[in-house]
Amino acid sequence: MTFVSDATSLILLAKVGLLEMFVVRNNVVMPPKVYDEVAKGKDKGRLDAFLVERLAAEKTLSISLADKETKAKIEKLFNIRGGELEVLAVSLAGSKTVLTDDKKCLAAAKALKLNFITSLDVVVALYRRGVVSKERAIEAIESLEEYGWYSKDVIKSYKEAVK
The predicted pLDDT at position 1 comes to 85
Task: Identify the helix (H) or strand (E) that includes residue 11.
Answer: helix 7-15
Work out the burial of residue 43: count CB atoms within 10 Å of its CB; fewer than 13 is exposed, 13-18 middle, 19 or more buried: exposed
**pLDDT at res. 153:** 96
* Whether residue 26 is found in the same domain as residue 94: yes
HSE of 138, CA atoms in CB hemisphere, 13 A = 8
On whether both 141 and 115 belong to a single domain, the answer is no
Helices in 16-151 by DSSP H: which ranges? 19-25, 32-39, 47-57, 68-78, 82-94, 103-111, 119-128, 134-147
Phi, psi of 108 (to 5 degrees): -65, -40
Q: Which domain holds residue 58?
A: 2-119
Dist. CA 123–CA 130, nearest whole Å: 11
If asked whether residues 66 and 89 sit together in one domain, one would say: yes
**Tens-of-pLDDT digits for all 163 residues of the chain?**
899 999 999 999 999 999 999 999 999 999 999 999 999 999 999 999 999 999 999 999 999 999 999 999 999 999 999 999 999 999 999 889 999 999 999 999 999 999 999 999 999 999 999 999 999 999 999 999 999 889 999 999 999 999 8
What one-character DSSP code corresponds to residue 40? G
For the whole model, what pTM was predicted? Answer: 0.95
CB 149 within 8 A of CB 9: no
pLDDT computed for residue 162 by the predictor: 95
Phi, psi of 98 (to 5 degrees): -80, 130
Q: Measured over all CA atoms, what is the biggest interatomic distance in the chain, rounded to whole angstroms? A: 45
134 and 111 within one domain: no
Tally the domains of the chain.
2
| Confidence (pLDDT) at 149 | 84
97 sits in which H/E element: strand 97-99
C-alpha to C-alpha distance for 107 and 113, rounded to whole angstroms: 10
Same domain membership, residue 100 and residue 112: yes
- In the three-class reduction of DSSP (H, G, I as helix; E, B as strand; rest coil), residue 27 is classed as strand
